[in-house]
Amino acid sequence: VTGASFVVFNGALKTSSGFLAKSSIVEDGLMVQITPETMESLRQALRDKKDFKITCGKADTGDIKEYVDICWVENEEQTNIG
C-alpha cells in the first residue's frame, strides 16, 4: 500500500511495450502509465462513479503483483484518518 499526495494517469503507454500498465513513485505522488484503451475505461468509470482496478506489470508473465485500485467511499473521514 502506497500513500500519495497526488496521482497522475498517463494514457500514452503503447501496447507494443509489453506492459499492461506501469506505476512509479514521482516525488511524493504516484504516476500510472496506461494504454489509451485503459484510459478511456478509467474515464468512464470515473464518470459513472465506479471502482476501477489497474493491473500493472508485463503482459506475458503470470507474475503480476502490483495493482492500482481506485475506490469510491461513502465516508472519507473514516478512510483518510492520519
pLDDT digits (tens, 9 = 90+) for 14-32: 989 989 999 999 888 999 9
**Is 11 a domain residue?**
yes
**Is 12 a domain residue?**
yes
- pLDDT band with cut points at 50, 70 and 90 for residue 64: low
Can you give the residue range of the structural domain that contains 24?
6-70
In tens, the pLDDT along 21-62 reads 999 998 889 999 999 999 999 999 999 999 999 999 888 877
Q: What is the mean pLDDT of residues 53-82?
A: 78
DSSP string, 23-82: EEEETTEEEEEE-HHHHHHHHHHHHTT--EEEEEEETT-S---EEEEE---S-HHHHS--
The cell for 28 is 511524493
- pTM equals 0.80
**Is 77 a domain residue?**
no
Q: Residue 14's pLDDT is what?
A: 94
When divided into structural domains, the chain yields a total of 1
CATH of the domain at 13: 3.30.1360.220
